[in-house]
Amino acid sequence: MKQKTKTWFRKNLFSLITITLSMAVMGYFLVKDNGLKNLWDSLLDLRPGWLFCVMAGVVAGWVLEGYVLHLFCRHLYHHWTFGRSFYVGMVGLLYSNLTPFSVGEPMEIYNMTRIGMDVGAATSIVAVKSLVHHAVTFFYSLLLVALKLHYFQTAITNFSFVTVFGLATNCIFIVGVFLMIENSRLTEKILETIVRVMNRMKMQKLAEKFYKKAHSHLLIFHDSADIMGRSFPLYFTAVMLTVAQVTISSLVSYFVYRSFNLKGQSVLTLIAGDAFTTMAASFVPLPGSSGGMEGGFVLFFHSFFGNRIMPAVTLWRTATYYIEIPIGALISSLGSKKYTVQNTDLS
Cβ neighbours of residue 73 closer than 8 Å, sequence gap 6 or more:
80, 84, 85, 112, 117, 125
State the DSSP string of 148-162: HHHHHHHHSTTHHHH
Q: Count CB-CB contacts under 10 A for residue 155.
A: 15
Distance CA 335, CA 314 (A): 30
Instruction: Give the integer Cα–Cα distance in Å for 179 and 248.
Output: 30
Instruction: Specify the number of domains making up the chain.
Output: 1
Examine residue 185 and state whether it is found in any structural domain, yes or no: yes
Determine the structural domain holding residue 305 and report its residue range. 46-338
3-state DSSP assignment of residue 333: helix
Question: 3-state DSSP call for residue 298?
Answer: helix
Is residue 149 domain-resident?
yes
- Give domain status of residue 103, yes or no: yes
Lowest mean pLDDT among 216-230, 294-308, 331-345: 216-230
Q: Is the pLDDT of residue 59 over 90?
A: yes
Is 255 contained in some domain? yes
- Burial code (b: 16+ CB inside 10 Å, e: under 16) for 98-111 equals bbeebebbebbbeb
Q: For the segment 154-212, what is each residue's pLDDT rounded down to a tens digit?
A: 766 555 555 666 666 666 666 666 666 666 666 667 667 766 766 776 666 666 765 66
Asked if residue 213 is part of any domain, the answer here is yes
If one counts every other C-beta atom within 10 angstroms of the C-beta of residue 175, the result is 10
Domain-embedded: residue 334: yes
What's the rounded mean pLDDT across residues 52-57? 96
Model confidence pLDDT, tens digit, residues 278-302:
776 666 666 666 666 877 788 788 8
pTM for the model stands at 0.76
Q: What is the pLDDT of residues 86-140, one digit of tens each?
A: 999 999 998 888 776 566 788 898 889 888 888 778 888 888 888 888 888 878 8
Residues 280-306 as b or e (16 or more Cβ within 10 Å = b)? bbbbbebbbbbbbbbbbbbbbbbebbe
pLDDT over 90 (residue 64)? yes
Q: What is the pLDDT of residue 50?
A: 93
Residue 70 is assigned to a structural domain of this protein: yes
Within a domain: residue 36?
Answer: no
